[in-house]
Amino acid sequence: MARGAKKKKMKIIKADYIYYKGGYLEEHAVLFDEKIIAVAPYEELCSSHPEAELLPYVPNSVLYPGFINTHVHLEFSANRTTLKYGSFVEWLYSVIGRRDELLGECDQKILDEACAQMLRSGVTAFGAISSLGLELEAVARAPQRVVFFNELLGSNPASVDVLYADFLSRLEASSLRSDAHITPAIAIHSPYSVHPIVIKKAMALARERGLIVSAHFLESPQEREWLEHGSGEFREFFKKLFNQERPNNSIGGFLDAFDGHSTHFTHCVQAGRSELEAIAGRGHSIAHCPRSNRYLGCGRLDLETIHELDIPYTVATDGLSSNNTLSIFDELRAALMLHEGIDLNTLARKLIDAVTVNAADVLRLDCGRLEAGYHADMVLIAMDEKIDDYDDLPLWTILHTREVTQLYIKGERHV
């Protein structure tokens, strides 16, 4: 601890159920300051730490680690009815046509509200995909931990150097804020929009500095057709807008660029078994954005195969550019509805892990678990009635939570 820094007073929080290693503890409590000091039976903690402050008991309560949204584009938060939903390429045309207008409308108030909306839904950490760095001040102000993914974009060889230099300066700007709760990171936009030469450069930098990397990958059927055959709606799109005749990357070549550096691939809706096996075998992870996929006409992620191959995955909201809210619980409910072939309670359990432990591991954060030594990032949810049986508690939590009752980051209460 820094000299002069006052040590935070220890507190004890009790809940009817405490989420612990995929199950629930009863009659337990958490002793914490900035970090979790112990998870133990309530009576035991009270007698061993009489100096600790006892927080008021909330009836019918469940304590979870704070939830983590690994993929959100905050700069597009002004969108409501500007972008066209329903088909990916039409959406992309609308983004290209109205991007400046949307970014211009996205003021500090809108950015603050986007972070606050996530907070109310229990999000204590998130991965911000940043196109221009316009949200850096807002996320520095927000209480959440943030992994700040600076986006690299540009497929035209004539302009890639300028775009790469701009990417580097944004990366540096976010590195200067790493004092707060911001971790600088890299987002390679996608295989169709980034030239392999700059992907190589960015990956060399990521390896050298140990930076977290994320990329949109195999999102739409049109992306797959373009990368595989150089045809389809993307062909016309690239010819018309960039006078480009052929894709710059193949599916396999793009994946190879990330070898040896575990990467968080977003969407993967159009990935087949062989790509999913490559993702599994090379130690990568997937961000699943069910509503974004539905709203942009991309299809359904093959979650059954992802479970079978044991690929670590998270559930994330994407931005308001392809969604209607940034609530992590709205997203989890959508996942339950979309994957109707998977047993409901099994899926609910996996989804809770997706937005806690899995997401923390992907963003390399010491949170996402209620265990001694982890940050005291916690969420208390009061259910409407007494919970007799905790077997179905993951499902009840997902179905009934609109906003969390209490939220702590670094042991400090924010909701």
DSSP of 39-71, one letter per residue? EEEHHHHHHH-TTSEEPPP-TTEEEEEPEEEEE
List the catalytic residues: 219
Positions that interact with ligand MCF (CB under 6 A): 73, 76, 95-96, 129, 131, 151, 153, 189, 193, 216, 219, 292, 318-319, 321-322
Residue 224 CB partners (closer than 8 Å, separation 6+):
218, 251, 270
Give min distance, CB of 199 to ligand MCF, in A: 15
User: Closest CB to ligand MCF among 148 and 396?
Assistant: 148
User: Closest CB to Fe ion among 318 and 377?
Assistant: 318
Give min distance, CB of 217 to Fe ion, in A: 11
Residue 365 is given by DSSP the state -
User: Closest CB to ligand MCF among 129 and 348?
Assistant: 129
Give min distance, CB of 323 to ligand MCF, in A: 9
Backbone angles phi, psi at 138, to 5 degrees: -65, -40
Classify strands 53-54 and 11-14 as parallel, antiparallel or unpaired: parallel
Positions that interact with Fe ion (CB under 5 A): 318
The residue of the chain with the least Cβ separation from Fe ion equals 318
For tokens 């507190």, name the residue: 11
Radius of gyration of the chain (CA): 22
First-to-final CA distance of the chain = 26
Q: Which does 223 bind (CB under 5 to 8 A by kind): ligand MCF, Fe ion, none?
A: none
- Residue among 221, 233, 242, 269 at smallest CA distance from 153: 242
Give min distance, CB of 78 to Fe ion, in A: 16
User: Closest CB to ligand MCF among 49 and 99?
Assistant: 99
DSSP of 240-273, one letter per residue? HHH---S-S--HHHHHHTTTTS-EEEEE-TT--H
Residue 161 CB partners (closer than 8 Å, separation 6+):
none
Give min distance, CB of 295 to Fe ion, in A: 12
User: Closest CB to ligand MCF among 54 and 163?
Assistant: 163
